[in-house]
Amino acid sequence: MSKSRTTSAAFVAGAFCALTAATTHADELRVSGTVVKVIVSKESQKLDDGRTILHVHDKGIVETNDPKSPLNLTTRECSGTWIMDTKGNYVGGGGYCDNFDKSGDAYWNTWKAAPEGGDIWSVYHGTGKFAGVSGGGTSKLIVYFEDRYEIAFEGTLTMK
C-alpha cells in the first residue's frame, strides 16, 4: 500500500472515530437555581370578558445551585404573554428567552404556564458550548413585585 493511501486511510479512520465520539457522547446535567428578573416593559390589554392579557419584557440573571453549571450567571432576556382572570390571578401564558454567558455563548428556551401551577420550560437551541443543547424542566414563582420577580427552576439538560 502506498504511503499516501495509508495516510488517507488513517485520516478517514481517525475522522470517523472523532465524529462518532462527538455525536454519541452527551453529558446529562441536573440543573436548578433561581432567576431574578426586572420588568423592562409591561403592557396590559383588557378583554371583553374581563380577563387581561399582559405583554411582558424582562431581563434577569440566572444563579444555579451549582456554581460550576454552564448556566450559572448567564443573562436572560425574555418576552412573553401572561393571561390574568377577572380577579387578577395569573392563569396561563407563554414566551421565550435569550440567554448568554460571559463569553457570548447562547442558548434559547421557551416557557409555558402549566394549568395546575408552575411553568414548563424547554431549551431548543444553542451556540458555542451550548451547541446541540436540549432538555427542560419546571419553574415556579417565588415572589412577585410590580417591577421585578424571582423564580426557582429545576430540570435536566443534555449537553453535546
b/e map 75-109, b = 16+ CB within 10 Å: ebebebebbbeeeeeeeebebebebbbeeebbbbb
The confidence score (pLDDT) of residue 23 equals 43
The confidence score (pLDDT) of residue 65 equals 98
**CATH class of the domain comprising 26-159:** mainly beta
The answer to whether the CB of 111 falls within 8 A of the CB of 119 is yes
* Alpha-carbon span 101 to 127, nearest angstrom: 11
Q: Where are the domains of the chain?
A: 26-159
The confidence score (pLDDT) of residue 115 equals 64
The confidence score (pLDDT) of residue 129 equals 95
Question: Nearest Cα to 55, choosing from 90, 95, 89?
Answer: 95
What is this structure's pTM?
A: 0.78
Q: Consecutive sets of 10 residues in the chain, 160 residues long: mean pLDDT of each?
A: 43 38 66 98 96 96 96 97 89 95 97 81 96 96 93 95
